Each structure stands twice: as structure tokens, then as C-alpha cells.
Amino acid sequence: MRVTEWRLMENAQRGVGNARNRAAQAGEAMSSGVRVSRPSDDPVSWAEGARTRARLAVARGQKSAIRTSMENLAETELVFSSIGSALSRSFVLATQLANGTNDADSRNLAAAEIEDLRDGILGAANSRSARGEYLLAGVSSLTQPFDAAGNFVGSTLGRAVQIREGQDLNVTVEGDHLDAAVNVISVMDALADGLRTNDQDAIRSAMDSLHVAIGQTAGAQSEVGRRVSALQLADQDRESVEISLMETYASLIEAEPIAAASELAESQIALEGARAVAERLVQIAAGSLG
């Protein structure tokens, strides 16, 4: 076989091989829905797709952190609501029993209820989340935030989560709100003592402090609401980013159905054409040999 005929045969085989590979890739894309399944399919799209996939993983991680934080804040709101209710009940009792018409026995009986309410407030302040973390302890989430005397021993630093690329948000409301201008537990203790000792002046003084304590607790509740609103907005923004990234990834990696079907049809036609050309070249080569 002369060099010319040999090259004709080689070109024919190469043409059929290339056409077969194209048809195989088109068939794979059509059946799997993936246009770029390996770097060699499209190096640029593969690299950009990998970067987009990494950003998607971050966005989905932010989703988990935001949703967990919102659940914790919902539990925190219940804590402050419970404490607020106990303080309000205490204020009603104090108002009633500060009146001179009440006797020592009725005040002593009320003191027992105040002490129960006080213990309930302390228990609520030391509440844990469903995941076992102390809700009001700040970054020291595994440390009980209030001691037996009601002193805040947690951290005043809040826990932060990333809500979008390059931006963090404090997602906790710490227990120091209950130990600010007045210490809520100390106020309850003072009221109980005033009732036990039948001291009207002490009861009235405790009422003033109770009023401050109620305001502190309401302020903490409002702060919870602000954090929840910020997280809701952040989650909406994050969801938009995630959708955009998914669309970008699909355009880079996935096969568009109509385009994939068209490419498959064209590649099959090209394969048949390459085979026909190859057969003709083989005939030409065979004729020249004869």
C-alpha cells in the first residue's frame, strides 16, 4: 500500500472515531441531562461549575445556620414571655398587698407564690434549646447563664452566623438583659422578703424595681423580634442567591433538552456521513491497489 492510500485509510478511521465519540457524548448528555461530566468535556465550564458548586454549598450552609438560629430565637422569645408574665403577676400581687387593709397572714401567703414565681423565672432564664445549648448564655452556650442567686454568669457576647458572603449577624439575645438596671431575681427576692416581714415600705420599693424589671424583659423580647426579622430578610436574600447560583450551575454543566436532542441528531448524521466517506475511501484505496 502506498503512502497516499495509507493516509486515506488513516483519515477515514480518524473521521469515524471522532464522529463516534461526538455521538456518544451527545447520547450521554441526552440520557443523563449533564453536558459537562468531566473536565475534558469543557475545561472552562467545568472550572466555573466547580466554583459555583462551592458557593452553593456555602449558601446552603447559611440556610441551615439561619433556620437553626430562628428556631433558637423562637424558644428565646418564649423564655422572655414566660418571665414577663411572672413579673406581671408579681406586680399585681405587690399592688394588692401594698394596701394597708391586708394583714400579715395574707402577705405571708402571697410571699410563697412570689417565691414560686421567682424559681420559675430562674428556671426559664436557664432554659436550654432543643439542641442542649443555654439560650441566654451568649457564646458560652454550654455554661449555665445564671447561678442559684440569680446572678448572670454567662457571656455578654452573642453568637454570630454568616447570613451572606462577608456578613455576620448576632443571632442571640443574652441574659444580661435580666441583670441590667436591676437584677430580676434580686427584685423577686426583695418582694418576697417584704411580704414575709409584712413591710409595706419594702413592698412598695420592690414594686418600683418590678416596673423596671418588666421594662427590661419587654426590651429583651423586642430585641428577639428584631433579630428574627433580620434573619428572615437574610434568608430571603440567601434564597435568591441560591436560585441564581443553581441557574448558573445548570447553564454551565447541565444539558438543555432541545439543544441536547439537536446535538444528538446532528452527531448521528455526522457519524453516518463519516462512515460513508470511510467506505468510499476504502474503495478508492482498494481500487488503487488492484
Residue 108: all three cell numbers together: 405571708
Percent of the chain, pLDDT > 90?
52
Residue in the structure block whose three cell numbers are 461530566: 37
Q: Give first-to-last CA distance, the chain, whole Å.
A: 10
pLDDT tens across 175-202, in order?
A: 999 999 999 999 999 999 999 999 999 9
| pLDDT value, residue 36 | 58
Residue 242: all three cell numbers together: 441560591
Mean pLDDT, the chain, whole residue set: 81
| pLDDT value, residue 121 | 98
How many Å apart are CA 135 and CA 72, to the nearest integer? 7
Superfamily of chain region 50-249: f41 fragment of flagellin, N-terminal domain (1.20.1330.10)
| pLDDT value, residue 35 | 54
Would you list the domain boundaries of the chain? Answer: 3-35+254-289, 50-249
Using alpha carbons, list the distances in angstroms from residue 129 to 35, 172, 188.
45, 12, 25
**Residuewise pLDDT in 10s, the chain (290 residues):** 454 555 555 665 565 455 455 445 544 544 444 555 667 767 887 788 788 778 888 888 888 889 999 999 999 999 999 999 999 999 999 999 998 888 999 999 999 999 999 999 999 999 999 889 999 999 999 999 999 999 999 999 999 988 877 788 899 999 999 999 999 999 999 999 999 999 999 999 999 999 999 999 999 999 999 999 999 999 999 888 888 887 776 776 654 444 444 444 454 554 455 555 556 656 666 665 55
User: How many Cβ atoms sit within 10 Å of the Cβ of residue 36?
Assistant: 19
How many Å apart are CA 142 and CA 213, to the nearest integer? 26
